[in-house]
Amino acid sequence: MQEINTFLFDLDGTLVDSVPDLATALNKMLSDYQLPTYDEYVIRHWVGNGARVLVERGLSGDTKINHNRKQLEVDTALDKFLFYYRTLETKSTVLYEGVHDTLHALKNRGFRLALITNKPSEFIEPILSSFSLSAVFSLTIGGDSLPEKKPSPLPLLNACEQLNVSPSQCVMVGDSKNDILAAKAANIKSIGLTYGYNYGESIATYQPDWVFDSFSEILASLS
């Protein structure tokens, strides 16, 4: 990692475990439609492609989306889900072990940090501020900030442009195939974390440059 001066981080499943709140909001929405609700364990495998896809999977009751619903129906369901998610104020979202100290240590060592998530941008700051992490990031990009989100390379390349760094100076840190595929498409090195949400698949399958079991290993790799 000698050339690296910038770290790009995913949020859900990488920095925080937000599934408890996402599952609660999704099940409240499904209950409004008198549809089946699902265990947190099941919903955990539906997270990672943004709020709209999560809602479509909930309505379908499966990772594979049933596309027989009209766009307006999905839009209305999404609005309901987002309403419930806002009311929860991330009360059950937790920071993964080692994240707070590692991010602050990286910042103190002069690395630039950016956050690139598929989560709607309105939810980024409340989560970061609740864990005293807002100040460590030079840039945040949400799933609705640009025309495309991960696994498209666009958010990563946009971050490089805004931070005035080259892809070769960056590393993407994430827990899902979307992070690794986006990094590869952008010619950016990647760190795959094994503990997050990757649809039940091993993150190593997507061949990130490094595979770590804990967040703190990022610092150790720089020694």
Taking the CB of residue 208, how many other CB atoms lie within 10 A of it? Answer: 23
**Among residues 128, 148, 152, 127, which one has the least CA distance to residue 138?**
128
Strands 94-95, 189-193: pairing is unpaired
- Nearest 5 degrees, angle CA 195-CA 163-CA 173? 10
Q: Is position 10 annotated as part of the catalytic site?
A: yes
Dihedral over Cα of 167, 4, 8, 200: its sign: positive
Catalytic residue among 10, 12, 17, 21: 10
Residue-by-residue DSSP string for 56-98: HHHHHTSSS--TTS-HHHHHHHHHHHHHHHHHHTTTT-EEPTT
Quote the distance between the C-alpha of residue 114 and its chain's center.
12
Residues annotated catalytic, as ranges: 10
